[in-house]
Amino acid sequence: MSNIIISTGFTINGYWISPFELLKGQVISLWLPQDTEQNEGVGSKIESQLIKLLSGKQTHNALTLIKRFMYIEDYKGDDWFKEHFYPTTPERYLKKNSKLLKAERNQILNELISKPALPLNRFGGNTRRMLALLACMSKSNNILFNVGGLDSQGVNQVYQQIEKMVDQGGSAIELNYPYLSGGNPPQHMGRHQFGKAKVIKIEKVYKEV
Q: Final residue of a domain: which of 102, 121, 138?
A: 138
pLDDT of residue 86: 87
pLDDT band at 40 (very low <50, low <70, confident <90, very high): confident
* 17 shares its domain with 110: no
Same domain, 125 and 145: no
The DSSP line for 105-127 is HHHHHHHH-S-TTS-GGGS-HHH
**Residue 120 near residue 161 (C-beta atoms within 8 A):** no
Residue 84 pLDDT class (50, 70, 90 cuts)? confident
78 membership: H or E segment, kind and range: none
Rounded to the nearest 10 degrees, the angle between the axes of helix 102-112 and helix 125-137 is 160
Query: Which pLDDT belongs to residue 144?
Result: 97
Q: Are residues 126 and 146 in the same domain?
A: no
Q: Give how far Cα 163 sits from Cα of 11, 52, 90, 112, Å.
A: 29, 24, 24, 19
Same domain, 159 and 65: yes
pLDDT tens digits for range 128-140: 999 999 999 999 9
State residue 180's pLDDT score.
60
Are 4 and 53 contained in the same domain? yes
Statement: residue 72 has pLDDT above 80: yes
Mean pLDDT of all residues in the chain?
87
Same structural domain for residues 44 and 131? Answer: no
pLDDT tens string 176-204: 988 764 444 444 444 444 455 788 989 88
Shared domain for 114 and 125, answered yes or no, is yes
CB 28 within 8 A of CB 200: yes
Query: What's the domain range around 19?
Result: 1-69+140-209
CB 36 within 8 A of CB 42: yes
pLDDT at 1: 60
- Counting the structural domains of the chain, the total is 2
Neighbours of 163 (CB within 10 A): 16
User: 153-178, pLDDT tens digit by residue?
Assistant: 998 899 999 999 999 999 999 999 88
pLDDT of residue 168: 93
For residues 21 and 62, state if they share a domain: yes
188 with 199, same domain: the answer is yes
What is this structure's pTM? 0.87
pLDDT of residue 209: 45
